[in-house]
């Protein structure tokens, strides 16, 4: 029986066998600690009926642990040089499918239909490349992919932003977007010493469990996110100034009047507003535009 991939010795052997060199541009950092990988898989709470999507399998260290517990694993790998390595390291597992594609360009819903059939329990579990963490997660959430949840390792600082509460330095539009779709919790801190090559910062594992229903009721989802982004455009500015400068379909007087209507002080900053405050604000702004000018495009 082969030793686990995620040991320093075995990882080194695999890399030497294939003459593999890391590409900084792809954010490649491979984990060399089996216990941490097993903990990540534990947080996904997989059963024999679970199917898993992995993004950036590397040489298959996490994929191997997932394959031992899940019904099927589909992994998206962008680096062609890793395909023969994965073919070798994952040969013992017949429930793994590697797709050579950038997940940001993939039709993930279509892949799920083709690969997972009528499986109801689908998780994303991955050690995400730092440089594309946010776009990947937002795609998975915004495309309404039928996931139970997501357990991913990413830069500690990004995990902190995703799970942040109002009135903290980490809280921003990313916190609200992630928490609108999921219940977010940082479950583990991972030191940089357990990777090769060693990254410059520590990592964290965040667990995002998909909400059955959003926590707030919105008149228009995309307009809500537009208001949120505008409110955080310049963190030091007040909500009134940010909205006046960044929502150009409104004049300052209208914004002031809507803020008064929903009882939000104009001198507050975006970071002090909860997701419920933003829902009230965006719904009131949306209503004001519709009632004042029904034909106006938002």
Residue with tokens 């916190």, as numbered in its chain: 175
**107 in a known ligand binding site:** no
Looking at the fold, whether 50 and 194 belong to one and the same domain comes out as yes
Which strand (E) or helix (H) includes residue 151? strand 149-155
Structural domains in the chain (count) = 2
Q: Indicate the range of 19-28, 95-104, 167-176, 228-237 predicted with least confidence.
A: 19-28
In the listed set 210, 233, 249, which residue is the last one of a domain according to the structure? Answer: 210
pLDDT at 298: 53
**240 in a known ligand binding site:** no
**56 in a known ligand binding site:** yes
Residue 64 domain flag: yes
- The CATH number linked to 35 is 3.40.50.150
Give the model confidence (pLDDT) of 206-217 as tens digits.
999 999 999 999
In the listed set 210, 237, 254, which residue is the last one of a domain according to the structure? Answer: 210
User: By residue range, what is the domain housing residue 265?
Assistant: 221-292
**64 in a known ligand binding site:** no
Strands 203-210 and 149-155, by their bridges, are antiparallel
Looking at the fold, whether 95 and 142 belong to one and the same domain comes out as yes
Looking at the fold, whether 61 and 136 belong to one and the same domain comes out as yes
**117 in a known ligand binding site:** no
Longest Cα–Cα distance of the chain, Å, equals: 72
Q: Is 269 exposed, middle or buried (0-12, 13-18, 19+ CB in 10 A)?
A: middle
Looking at the fold, whether 255 and 198 belong to one and the same domain comes out as no
Residue 173 DSSP code: H
- Residue 199 or residue 182, greater confidence: 182
**77 in a known ligand binding site:** yes
Looking at the fold, whether 191 and 242 belong to one and the same domain comes out as no
Looking at the fold, whether 164 and 69 belong to one and the same domain comes out as yes
Give the model confidence (pLDDT) of 37-54 as tens digits.
999 999 999 999 999 999
Task: Compute the distance between CA of residue 22 and CA of residue 298 in angstroms, rounded to an integer.
Answer: 45
Give the model confidence (pLDDT) of 3-25 as tens digits.
799 999 999 999 999 999 887 76
- Binning pLDDT at 50, 70 and 90, where does residue 199 land? confident
pTM for this entry: 0.91
In the listed set 178, 210, 242, which residue is the last one of a domain according to the structure? Answer: 210
What does R_g of the chain's alpha carbons equal in angstroms?
22
Looking at the fold, whether 190 and 280 belong to one and the same domain comes out as no
- The CATH number linked to 276 is 1.10.8.100
């Amino acid at each position: 029986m082969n030793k686990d991939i995620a040991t320093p010795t075995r990882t080194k052997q695999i890399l030497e066998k294939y003459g593999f060199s890391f590409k900084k541009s792809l954010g490649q950092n491979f984990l060399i600690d089996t216990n941490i990988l097993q903990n990540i898989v534990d947080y996904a709470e997989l059963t024999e009926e679970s199917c898993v999507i992995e993004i950036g399998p590397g040489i298959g260290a996490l994929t191997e642990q997932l394959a031992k517990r899940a019904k099927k694993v589909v992994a998206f790998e962008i680096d062609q040089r890793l395909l023969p390595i994965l073919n070798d390291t994952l040969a013992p597992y017949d429930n793994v499918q590697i797709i050579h594609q950038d997940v940001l360009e993939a039709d993930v819903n279509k892949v799920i239909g083709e690969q997972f059939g009528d499986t109801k329990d689908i998780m994303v579990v991955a050690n995400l490349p730092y440089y594309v963490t946010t776009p990947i997660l937002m795609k998975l959430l915004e495309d309404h992919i039928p996931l139970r949840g997501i357990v991913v390792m990413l830069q500690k600082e990004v995990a902190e932003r995703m799970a942040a509460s109002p009135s903290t330095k980490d809280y921003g539009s990313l916190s609200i977007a992630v928490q609108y779709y999921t219940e977010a919790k940082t479950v583990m801190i991972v030191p940089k010493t357990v990777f090769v090559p060693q990254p410059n910062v520590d990592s964290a594992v965040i667990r995002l469990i998909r909400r059955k229903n959003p926590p707030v009721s919105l008149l228009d989802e995309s307009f809500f996110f537009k208001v949120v982004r505008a409110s955080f455009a310049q963190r030091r500015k007040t909500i009134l100034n940010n909205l006046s400068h960044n929502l150009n379909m409104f004049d300052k007087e209208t914004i002031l009047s809507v803020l008064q209507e929903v009882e939000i002080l104009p001198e507050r900053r975006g970071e002090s507003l909860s997701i419920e405050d933003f829902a009230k604000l965006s719904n009131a702004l949306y209503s004001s535009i519709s009632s004042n000018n029904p034909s106006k495009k938002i």
